[in-house]
Amino acid sequence: MDWWEIISNAIRTGIGSTVIIYTLAAIGLNLHFGYTGLLNFGQVGFMAAGAYGVGIMTRTYHHPLWVGVLVGLAAGFVLALLLGLPTLRLRADYLAIVTIAAGEILRLVVRAASLQEYTGGSSGLNGVADEFQDKWNFIWTPEARYGERIFGGRLNFRFTGGELWEMLVGWTLVLVCLLVMWLLVSSPWGRVLRSIREDEDAARSLGKNVFRFKMQSLVLGGLFGSLAGIFYALQQNSVQPDNYVTPVTFFALTAAIIGGFGRIWGPVVGAMIFWMILSLTENILRQAEGQDYLPESLIDGVQVGQVRFILTGLGLMLLMIFRPQGVFGDKREIAIDVRK
Amino acid sequence: MSASDESNEIVFGQTAGLGGAGSLREADWPNPARGMFDTVDPVPGASKPDPILVASDVSRSFGGIRAVSVERLEVQRGAITALIGPNGAGKTTFFNLLTGFDKPDSGNVMFDGETASGQASYKLAIKGMVRTFQLTKVLARMTVLDNMMLAGQQQSGESMFRGFIRMWGGQEAGVREKALEILAQFNMTHMSGEFAGSLSGGQRKLLEMARAMMAQPRLIMLDEPMAGVNPALTQSLLEHVKRLRSEGISVVFVEHDMDVVRDISDWVVVMAEGEIIAEGTSDMIGSNQAVIDAYLGSSHASLTEQILTGHIPDVEEVEAGLAEAAELEAAEIAAFEAETGPIEQVGESSDD
């Protein structure tokens, strides 16, 4: 088995675009659930709002990309208001139900045949972000290759100019979002959010307008989700309705849980660990299968894709058993019975 | 020996809330309410010289059950008012109606001259009516100090934008100082870094009261502040309530323990079946026939009177009282049946 290839693939995944997308989405969920206690099971809806904002503006109406980005963020903003207004005065579970449904509704609407001329229907919109590489990338040539194979050629650190640009923009976005999060949650505003997470009646009895704070949190976290969707569209250079399915939300939630809810760096490390485990298990299984370490009767090439999720699930279970607070969480918090 | 005598003998140690309060003496906290009620009629709905809270015709029903139906209640400014009544009398529901946590079906609540009914609970809290809860609501996964600092009022850093651009450093230092000062009064300074969820039940009660004080109330509403608290800590909590009064804060509290009520309340309001059935000083309440009837039914008169006046009966007395009550009841039934014929049992009574 070529362990160096397995390791370099894992590292490339860990710093790659997929991790960036899920990190951004998970930062939003961290604000929602980790700091405010809002159950948002429809983060993918905010991602779709952002992505289709870009797609429809640039492809259907031929506006420049920056207009698309702004419209994408505005779409996320409006979606958050629509979801929050009727539900945030009610118990927490109503928001969960409404968001999970809204995510699905949004996906089914954009893939509807009757909207094909705007959204491209089930085939989506392609070439939505040509500008992102052709005009905005002022450092590298998108198709050219850069970088080295290091450790005597064993670790592959060669990337195309396009990939490097994606990673530069993506990680910059992540750092900016984390800075925004840190500035906010460490302020008295963040303290009110945490008090709402613990007990909103107590917050109310101390003169806090709980609805307003919950709405602000929902909107901001939704905007992080929209940013994730926008970056997804830029990176793929297309928007496909079937990329915005419910499991995306749950992968992002998983990343946030691994990293530890209520911690600034949780989503980043959580998303890295989640996708690196997936990459490692896939590569190990593929090589083992390719070199006949695993008999065909036990597992074939197609099944590898499923088995890696089984193994990842096992890893998650072990994590929850031995470190339920996540990587960055505080064990003392888990020990507290919040129902008392 | 009664429970109150025993608790007075406990020597306060240096645990949370005890040491500080142990050094407090009633003489340190003069009662500004003394004499305030001399001219007040001890009748339900009595008008007070300077009411801070006025409820008129407040009612609330759940389904077909009328939980609260209060014609009039005035709460005197600067005094400690106790709200008592048997279980299910509607005390907590009435509390929720007064503090905006529930909306009355009809009626009107005025707080310090402004209409309070229909206002959101958080707005009433900002205006100075701060409540605590029967089941303590501490913010478990926040530190004691954060619990306190949250309650600081008019913090500009609570605006999302101003929090973001960090225009709150100076104010935050002031809030922290105030929080630590109040924690010191409650002798909880050494716990400021601990998660509130790791505190004991009594300490949570203390923290909730300290936190309510941090919100700078003019009227503090305590829903069963002594429930589940050991006698020594109760004594400490009582001293804190008296200190609130000496600082000019009005206090309303719901309580079951008559010793507590007699110890600190300037005025007692009794509720039963959603209505206010009596008002007066604690001495008047003990001998009020309507109150005695409400607590144990008309047949338990002597027993109830003893309890209400602070006498804790022993087992023989209770048995004797109950036997006497059973005799009276049998006599009443016999008299009733003699007039109207035999009573038929038709399931559970529905007027409860």
pLDDT digits (tens, 9 = 90+) for A99-118: 999 999 999 999 999 999 99
Nearest CB neighbour to A206, from listed B159, B163, B215: B215
CA–CA min distance B193, chain A (Å)? 12
* pLDDT (0 to 100) of residue B86: 86
Single-letter amino acid code for the residue at B204:
R
CA–CA gap between residue B234 and residue A265 (Å, rounded) = 44
Give the pLDDT confidence of B146-202 residue by residue, as tens digits: 999 999 999 999 999 999 999 898 999 999 999 999 999 998 999 999 999 999 888
By residue count, chain B amounts to 352
* pLDDT (0 to 100) of residue A92: 83
Nearest CB neighbour to A207, from listed B122, B163, B165: B122
Phi-psi region of B76 (alpha: psi -120 to 50; beta: other; left: phi over 0): beta
Q: Would you call A246 exposed, middle or buried from its count of C-beta atoms within 10 A (0-12, 13-18, 19+)?
A: middle
Single-letter amino acid code for the residue at B95:
F
- In chain B, what residues touch A188 (CB-CB under 8 Å)? 149, 155, 157-158, 163, 168, 172, 175
Nearest CB neighbour to B139, from listed A190, A199, A337: A199
For an interface test with B, give the residue of A35, A206, A218, A330 to mutate (most B CBs within 10 A). A206
The verdict on a CB contact (< 8 Å) between A201 and B168 is no
CA–CA gap between residue B39 and residue B76 (Å, rounded) = 12
Give pLDDT tens digits along chain B (352 positions): 344 444 444 444 334 444 444 444 555 678 888 888 888 888 898 899 999 999 999 999 998 888 999 999 999 999 999 999 888 889 999 999 999 999 999 999 999 999 998 899 999 999 999 999 988 899 999 999 999 999 999 999 999 999 999 989 899 999 999 999 999 999 899 999 999 999 988 899 999 999 999 999 999 999 998 887 888 888 888 889 999 999 999 999 998 888 888 888 999 999 998 999 999 998 888 778 888 777 766 555 566 666 666 666 677 777 777 787 788 778 877 877 777 776 655 544 444 3
Chain A CA closest to residue B204: A340
The verdict on a CB contact (< 8 Å) between A340 and B140 is yes
Tokens for A2, please give them: 């070529």
Position A340 in a domain? no
Question: What ipTM was predicted for this assembly?
Answer: 0.88
* pLDDT (0 to 100) of residue A32: 97
| Residue B121 sits at the chain A interface (C-beta within 8 Å) | yes
Helices (H) and strands (E) in chain A, counts: 17, 4
Write the CATH number for A18. Answer: 1.10.3470
Tell which A residues from 207 to 236 touch B, by Cβ distance under 8 Å.
207-210, 216, 220
What is the phi/psi pair of residue B129, to 5°? -105, 100
Alpha carbons within 13 A on the beta-carbon side of B103: 4
Position A140 in a domain? yes
* pLDDT (0 to 100) of residue B156: 93
pTM of the model: 0.85
* pLDDT (0 to 100) of residue B350: 42
Tokens for A154, please give them: 């064993």
- In chain A, what residues touch B138 (CB-CB under 8 Å)? 199, 202
CA-based nearest residue to B154, from B162, B164, B146: B162
Give the number of other CB atoms < 10 A from CB of residue A316.
16
Position A228 in a domain? yes
Tell which B residues from 176 to 205 touch A, by Cβ distance under 8 Å.
195, 197-198
Position A195 in a domain? yes
- In chain A, what residues touch B146 (CB-CB under 8 Å)? 191, 194
CA–CA gap between residue A67 and residue A45 (Å, rounded) = 20
Q: How far is CA A48 from CA A242, A245, A284, B174, in A?
A: 10, 9, 33, 45
Nearest CB neighbour to B168, from listed A187, A197, A337: A187
* pLDDT (0 to 100) of residue B301: 58
The verdict on a CB contact (< 8 Å) between B139 and A202 is yes
CA–CA gap between residue A189 and residue B75 (Å, rounded) = 35
The verdict on a CB contact (< 8 Å) between A333 and B121 is no
CA–CA gap between residue A274 and residue B239 (Å, rounded) = 55
The verdict on a CB contact (< 8 Å) between B158 and A192 is yes
Chain B CA closest to residue A333: B141
Q: Which domains does chain B have, with CATH numbers?
A: 3-153+182-295 (3.40.50.300)
Q: Are A190 and B163 in contact (CB under 8 A)?
A: yes
**Is residue A331 helix, strand or coil?**
helix
| Residue A206 sits at the chain B interface (C-beta within 8 Å) | yes
CA–CA gap between residue A256 and residue A246 (Å, rounded) = 16
What DSSP line would sit under B133-151, residue for residue?
Answer: -SS----TTSBHHHHHHHT
CA–CA gap between residue B104 and residue B116 (Å, rounded) = 11
Query: Tokens 């949780």 label which residue?
Result: A266
For an interface test with B, give the residue of A205, A211, A213, A219 to mutate (most B CBs within 10 A). A205
Q: In the structure, what pLDDT confidence band is assigned to residue A202 with cuts at 50, 70 and 90?
A: very high
Give the pLDDT confidence of A32-41 residue by residue, as tens digits: 999 999 999 9
Chain B CA closest to residue A207: B122
**pLDDT surpassing 70 at residue A129:** yes
CA–CA gap between residue B263 and residue A98 (Å, rounded) = 52
| Residue A152 sits at the chain B interface (C-beta within 8 Å) | no
Position A177 in a domain? yes
* pLDDT (0 to 100) of residue B344: 59
> How many structural domains comprise chain A?
1
CA-based radius of gyration for chain B:
22
Position A202 in a domain? yes
Nearest CB neighbour to A201, from listed B137, B157, B158: B137
Nearest CB neighbour to B157, from listed A189, A198, A338: A189
Tokens for A329, please give them: 């969480």
Position A216 in a domain? yes
- In chain B, what residues touch A189 (CB-CB under 8 Å)? 157-160, 163-164
CA–CA min distance B103, chain A (Å)? 15
Name the residue range of residue A301's domain: 3-335
CA-based nearest residue to A5, from A287, A193, A288: A287
Q: Are B147 and B198 in contact (CB under 8 A)?
A: no
Position A296 in a domain? yes
